[in-house]
Amino acid sequence: MTTARDASERLLRALLTIASQEQRTHCSDPGLSELWLSDHEGERAEAARLCIGCPVITKCGAAAIANDERWGVWGGHDRTVRPGRPKKAAA
């Protein structure tokens, strides 16, 4: 079983690796980063589309599951729990 700390460290290492290769994820782009944690569902949907092809998408999703993230887009999925709706099952 992966702990939250292990999953987060794997994601951090993957992000550092791509940064060392002078690459960046869309979610780290200053012009786009607000989409991943937006209050607007449509903006979060756009963020999820931008995740397609991300080199850390799997590690990002694993970290979100391990940390029980309940807001924003992680690993290409909107994990936002809306009031009055049950939490979505992990994909």
Claim: this prediction has a pTM higher than 0.75: yes
For the chain, the structural domain boundaries read 4-78
Helix %, strand %, coil % for the chain, to 5? 50, 5, 45
Q: What is the pLDDT along the chain (91 residues), one digit of tens a residue?
A: 679 999 999 999 999 999 999 999 999 999 999 999 999 999 999 999 999 999 999 999 999 999 999 999 999 999 998 776 565 554 4
Rounded to 10 deg, the angle between the 4-20 and 57-66 helix axes is 160
pLDDT, residue 72, reads 97
pLDDT, residue 86, reads 60
Query: Which residue in 26, 79, 77 sits closest to 53, CA to CA?
Result: 26
pLDDT, residue 38, reads 96
In sequence order, what are the residues at sequence separation of 6 or more whose Cβ sits closer than 8 angstroms to the Cβ of residue 57? Answer: 51, 75, 76
pLDDT, residue 91, reads 46
